[in-house]
Amino acid sequence: MKNFSNNNIDVIVLALPRWEGTYSSTSFSFAKELSRNNRVFYIDNPYTFKDFLQLRKTPAILKRKKALLYGKSNYFKIDDEYPNLTGVVTKLTLPVNFLKKGSLYNTLSGLNDKIVFSAIRKLINDYNIKNFIYINSFNPFYGIDFPKDINPELKIYQSVDEIRGEPYIARHGVYLENEIVRKYNFTITTSKELARLKSSVSKYVYYLPNAADINIFKKALDPDIKKPKEIENVNRKIIGYTGNIGLRIDYELLKKTAQTHKDKVLLMVGPKDKLNFTDNGLDKLENVIFTGSKNILELPSYLKYIDCAIIPFEKTELTKSIYPLKINEYLAAGKPVVMTDFSDLSEFSNVAYISGTQEEFLSDIQSAIDTDSSDKVLQRVKTAEGNTWESRVIQFWRFVEEYLNTIQS
């Protein structure tokens, strides 16, 4: 059995989130931590010709232009803190998601696969890659079946969300995900519910929950961080949410939160999802502030001044599969947390309020603020410190070893 836990094996990751995403990403955070001990090559979710035309003037496209059009200059150093992490850009692919399931979709999707595999061949040659693990993170639209000349030691799928919950990718994603889970060596999932669902497709499924970049979010404990400009004149208690403002949010609950806690400010930090943001008059209330998208490094300055952090997700069949990144981010910042009981997150019941009804959610916010203390701050931070990406990577290599021992026994 090969020792995959040291740096004698490379890792190639193809993920749905791009490394310059507007909010925290499981795929990218996991890849960064993997790169501390292994060379990791993070393949950007391929841009289509449609993407190129729509985004051609954006910085992201402009700096990738040679790679997208000609396959040249397609390697990028993403972060000096992670010298073993290399970004990889493929040539433009065909937009095919709008097509119905069938022979035309399969044919054009096959052409897209050839573009991705061409980039992988080039990568293997350019970096003299001998042995590698391939991880597909929530992007089953590419690389279900590998050509014979590309032979990873293991093919691993990472399920980070209920794919049925994203209408655009669900069109083909549901059946393609089942296929990739069935054909790959094993699957890791970020929630217990996802593990249960994928176990009906493959017997090799492991639960590897989300974590947080703890050191980033602990900066919220720094007493010298200044207030961001959006709240510099706010002198009231602040109820805050950070993250994508889109499909999962219970907008009725958010509005009731702002209306019930009129003596406080509801601060929403993150991008509004144009497809799934519900305009219910929330942003017209005088005590609601939307900041728009922020870089992850800016979030601690907002969390510093939040008195109660919330996760106001709807409780549905889709959200029950979620293990939110932000729970550990909030806790690392030492903040009281109130969330709906959308998923089985009972492991946090001693450091967060898990509200069963709207009424409980609204009252728990006040209780969380009123009963906060320095001892509770320490307890929250300690909990978050047990949920680091470092610990998740250690667990990942244990799963690799467990899988290899199982198939060899």
Smallest Cα–Cα separation from 77: which of 119, 47, 35, 48? 35
- Assess whether pLDDT exceeds 80 at residue 5: no
Distance of alpha carbon 251 from its chain centroid, rounded? Answer: 22
Note the pLDDT tens digit of each residue in 158-201.
999 999 877 788 999 999 999 999 999 999 999 999 999 999 99
Token reading at 81? 């803190």
Residue 306 identity (one-letter amino acid): I
Residue 66 pLDDT level (bands cut at 50, 70, 90) = very high
Taking each helix axis as running N to C, give the angle between helix 26-34 and helix 389-408, from 0 to 180 degrees, rounded to the nearest 10: 80
Q: Which CATH superfamily is domain 10-211+388-408 in?
A: Glycogen Phosphorylase B; (3.40.50.2000)
Give counts: helices (H), strands (E), the chain.
13, 14
What's the pLDDT at 166? 76
Hey, what are 8's tokens?
A: 């004698």
Give the residue range(s) of CATH 3.40.50.2000 domains in the chain. 10-211+388-408, 214-385
SS3 299: helix
How far apart CA 113 and CA 94 sit, in angstroms, is 10
What's the CA gap between 119 and 90, in Å, rounded?
6
Residue 280's Cβ-count burial label (10 Å; 0-12, 13-18, 19+) is: exposed
Q: Which two tokens stand for residue 379?
A: 């307890």
CA–CA dist 334, 407 (Å, integer)? 43
**What tens digit of pLDDT does each residue of 116-149 get?**
999 999 999 999 999 999 999 999 999 999 999 9
- Predicted confidence at residue 68, as pLDDT, reads 97
Between CA 364 and CA 292, with CA 235 as vertex, the angle to 5 degrees is 75
Q: Specify the 3-state DSSP secondary structure of 175.
A: helix
Could you give the percent of the chain with pLDDT greater than 90? 89
Round to whole Å and give the CA distance between 368 and 309: 9
Supply the pTM of this predicted model: 0.89
Q: Which of 52, 89, 93 lies closest to 74 in space, CA to CA? A: 89
Q: Domain spanning 214-385: which CATH class is it, in words?
A: alpha beta
| pLDDT at res. 74 | 97
Q: Determine the Cα–Cα distance for residues 205 and 199; give it in Å rounded to an integer.
A: 6
Q: Over the range 165-194, which residues count as b (16 or more CB within 10 Å of their CB) and which as e?
A: bbeebebbbeebbbebbeebbbbbbbbbbb
Q: Which residue has the higher pLDDT, 287 or 283?
A: 287
Chain position carrying tokens 């993170």: 137
Q: How far apart are CA 321 and CA 343, in angstroms?
A: 6
Q: Which helix (H) or strand (E) holds 291?
A: strand 288-292
